[in-house]
Amino acid sequence: MSETAPHASEPTSASHRPQPAVIAREARPDGWWKKAVVYQIYPRSFADSDGDGVGDLRGIIGRLDYLKELGVDVVWLSPVYRSPQDDNGYDISDYQDVDPLFGTLADMDDLIAGLHERGMKIMMDLVVNHTSDEHPWFRESRDALSPRGDWYIWRPVREGFEAGEPGAEPTNWRSAFSGPAWQYDQHRGEYYLHLFSVKQPDLNWENPEVRRAVYDMMRWWVDRGVDGFRMDVINFISKRYPLTDGATAPGETLSSDVRGFVDGPRMDEFFQEMHRAVMEGENLITVGEMPGVTLEKAASYTDEANHEIAMVFQFEHVGLDSSPGEGKWALKPLEWRDLKENFARWENGLEGRGWNSLYWNNHDQPRIVSRWGDDSTEYRVASAKTLGTVLHLLKGTPYVYQGEEIGMTNAHFTSIHQYQDIEVRNYYRDAMAHGADEKSLLASFAAKSRDNARTPMQWDDGENAGFSTGTPWLEVNPNHRQINAEQALADPDSVFHHYRRLIELRHSEPVVQEGVFALLAPEDPQVFAYTRTLGDRRLLVVANMSSRPAEIPADVPEVEGRVLLTTHPDAGGRTLAAWESRVVELG
């Protein structure tokens, strides 16, 4: 695709915007993020300060001491930019302002300052594969002759078809949120590409002016005190031109084939250009969300010699409980052997040449204690602790999603009317129109819906879990009477304090930060065991990933040593209680 001629872009900070407060930027030494733990906040569900039922920046500011006590180093903030909220803020209409739903730029300055004062850093969500269709850039782009006519991906009606009829789209690509990935625009007389919602048109990264505007915006936030960026579906920005039809499943007209836009030919070029324009000399934390990324690509993107990004979010492990080729809603039981093999492949594959991110939960994934643990009254605490242990002792940068540290569970919704997520609502509408079984759909949603992660943070056992004095935007989980931060802080044996100790281990033990990973007993279906080795220091992590006792297999020959952390302090020997885990220094 041809690039447009350069032209003058808008100033990166309009005169009406307040200038950033004077903020003492935290020191960011080389590789500091390799020793860090990141805490993700989903702002609309974290803490509501004004009683409108939606979390906000002042609510987050009021909980900073909680995060300090947990011990995390970085707070990753899901989008708070101006947005019509079609996809809960991932449809941005102004990158350089805060949506009134969450507060003001002055509130953002206070949050940045409050984090820095407590020795923590902040990572913003960077959503630049697409914008909102209400962004001024897109409104101008609807006029093909405007200076921004080529800032989005426009194509004419397919030859031989009439605009708007099925098959008239320029390609047969399917949107991630159901239906065709193209929308016809009457004003321009062409289709625009939207890999997600119809209100999220894809930016044209082939245009150098688009890239320049993005880098200007990123620098504006860094100057404001931001310490890094989580980059939303960033490996979609380089499409493969010319855009062509993808392969389809039997009986399907739309294609879920992602080869036309995942890890395209200019990704390295774009990352290196971004690094020069924004990251060079700043030592920012950067993580690219990359659906479909391969291990080899991830190693290349995160190889420090290539000057691209620090780490990636890959999705292989969170796809292991979906039937192959049938999508996330086709559930199948997790085999622990498969997960162990996947973790080992990524740990070994990135050793010495790239860097890994470690996560169970985020705003797009169900709660791990309900998904792969046991959220029953008997085993919820032990399984939440053990899942935390096996993840946090791996090599990489761990991510904690709000509520994970107190063992929050899935919402267990039973009606479609309880869901707010656009992905679920669109899928339900289309599936029911094609005769799907509602009971099966609701079972899949209860297990895997993104709303499981988005129910309000459970602060106490009072009304609305201490989240809001108003009516929450999404139902509060009724189990907040038993599961909440207030109780967790008061109980020295809680999930919270176990996570706090895991974070302390990463801060204090170089072998946790840099030790080489080796998987033990790969074929055992119940016990997860591995070592981390650095010089003459060797740690053993051994965990029973089930709700019944287990024997440590013979191919874990050595189990005795100094216990650094355990879920069952009185246990020992080669028998593990249900959901028991130990971290042992051998020798």
Cβ-based burial of 296 (10 A; exposed 0-12, middle 13-18, buried ≥19)? exposed
User: What single string gives the DSSP state of each residue in 84-126?
Assistant: --TTTTSS-SEEEEE-TTT--HHHHHHHHHHHHHTT-EEEEEE
User: What single string gives the DSSP state of each residue in 438-469?
Assistant: HHHHHHHHHHH-THHHHSPP--SSSGGGGS-S
Q: For this structure, is 289 an active site residue?
A: yes
In terms of domains, do 479 and 536 share one? no
With contact defined as beta carbons under 8 Å apart, do 65 and 489 qualify?
no
Alpha-carbon Rg for the chain, nearest whole angstrom, is 24
In a domain? residue 12: no
The pLDDT, as a whole number, for residue 326 is 74
In terms of domains, do 335 and 454 share one? yes
Output the six-digit token pair for 20: 């950033």
State the average pLDDT for the chain. 94
Q: For this structure, is 165 an active site residue?
A: no
Q: Using one digit for the tens of pLDDT, what is the confidence trace for 281-291?
A: 999 999 999 99
In terms of domains, do 530 and 471 share one? no
Output the six-digit token pair for 162: 């009439």
Phi (first) and psi of residue 317, to 5 degrees: -70, -30
In a domain? residue 451: yes
In terms of domains, do 482 and 560 share one? no
In terms of domains, do 423 and 520 share one? no
Q: Which domain holds residue 51?
A: 32-129+210-495
Is the per-residue pLDDT at 11 higher than 80? no
Residue 51 CB neighbour total at 10 angstroms: 11
With contact defined as beta carbons under 8 Å apart, do 28 and 35 qualify?
no
Angle of the 267-274 helix axis to the 295-302 helix axis, nearest 10: 20
Is the per-residue pLDDT at 551 higher than 50? yes
In a domain? residue 107: yes
CA distances from 470 to 52, 54, 475, 515, 564 (A): 6, 9, 12, 48, 44
Single out the catalytic residue among 86, 232, 321, 347: 232
Whole-number Å distance between alpha carbons of 337 and 294: 20
What is the CATH classification number for the domain harbouring 234? 3.20.20.80
In a domain? residue 173: no
> β-pairing, 38-41 with 397-401?
parallel
Is the per-residue pLDDT at 472 higher than 90? yes
The pLDDT, as a whole number, for residue 253 is 95
Q: State CA 59 to chain mean position distance.
A: 21
Is the per-residue pLDDT at 14 higher than 90? no
Give the total number of structural domains in the chain: 2
Q: What is the largest CA-CA distance in the chain?
A: 75
In terms of domains, do 313 and 356 share one? yes
In a domain? residue 184: no
Is the per-residue pLDDT at 190 higher than 80? yes
If one compares 117 and 21, the residue with the highest pLDDT of the two is 117
Q: State CA 299 to chain mean position distance.
A: 19
Residue ending a domain, among 465, 495, 525, is 495
Q: How many CA atoms lie within 13 A of 42 on its CB side?
A: 25
- Please, which pLDDT band fits residue 9 given cuts at 50, 70 and 90? very low
The pLDDT, as a whole number, for residue 237 is 98
With contact defined as beta carbons under 8 Å apart, do 499 and 408 qualify?
no
Whole-number Å distance between alpha carbons of 35 and 32: 6
For the ranges 18-27, 251-260, 282-291, the lowest mean pLDDT is seen at 18-27
Distant-in-sequence, close-in-space partners of 341: CB < 8 Å, separation ≥ 6: 522
Output the six-digit token pair for 303: 């190889």
The pLDDT, as a whole number, for residue 25 is 55
In a domain? residue 218: yes
In a domain? residue 580: yes
In terms of domains, do 220 and 343 share one? yes
In terms of domains, do 375 and 469 share one? yes
Is the per-residue pLDDT at 2 higher than 90? no
In a domain? residue 274: yes
In terms of domains, do 533 and 488 share one? no
The pLDDT, as a whole number, for residue 99 is 98
Q: What's the average model confidence in pLDDT over 207-230?
A: 98
- Please, which pLDDT band fits residue 17 given cuts at 50, 70 and 90? low
In terms of domains, do 279 and 310 share one? yes
Is the per-residue pLDDT at 22 higher than 70? no
Output the six-digit token pair for 198: 């119809």
Comparing CA positions, the residue from 483, 467, 476, 490 lying closest to residue 63 is 467
> β-pairing, 182-185 with 190-193?
antiparallel
Q: Using one digit for the tens of pLDDT, what is the confidence trace for 136-179?
A: 999 999 999 999 999 999 999 999 999 999 999 999 999 998 89
Whole-number Å distance between alpha carbons of 338 and 345: 11
Cβ-based burial of 519 (10 A; exposed 0-12, middle 13-18, buried ≥19)? middle
Single out the catalytic residue among 26, 133, 289, 423: 289
Whole-number Å distance between alpha carbons of 301 and 296: 9
pTM, to two decimals:
0.93
User: In the 3-class helix/strand/coil scheme, how is 153-193 assigned residue by residue?
Assistant: CEECCCCCCCCCCCCCCCCCEECCCCCECEEEECCCCEEEE
- Please, which pLDDT band fits residue 12 given cuts at 50, 70 and 90? very low
Distant-in-sequence, close-in-space partners of 569: CB < 8 Å, separation ≥ 6: none
Distant-in-sequence, close-in-space partners of 27: CB < 8 Å, separation ≥ 6: none
Is the per-residue pLDDT at 13 higher than 90? no
What is the CATH classification number for the domain harbouring 576? 2.60.40.1180
In terms of domains, do 524 and 430 share one? no
In terms of domains, do 456 and 570 share one? no
Angle of the 495-508 helix axis to the 380-392 helix axis, nearest 10: 10
Distant-in-sequence, close-in-space partners of 153: CB < 8 Å, separation ≥ 6: 192, 193, 201, 202, 203, 204, 239, 243
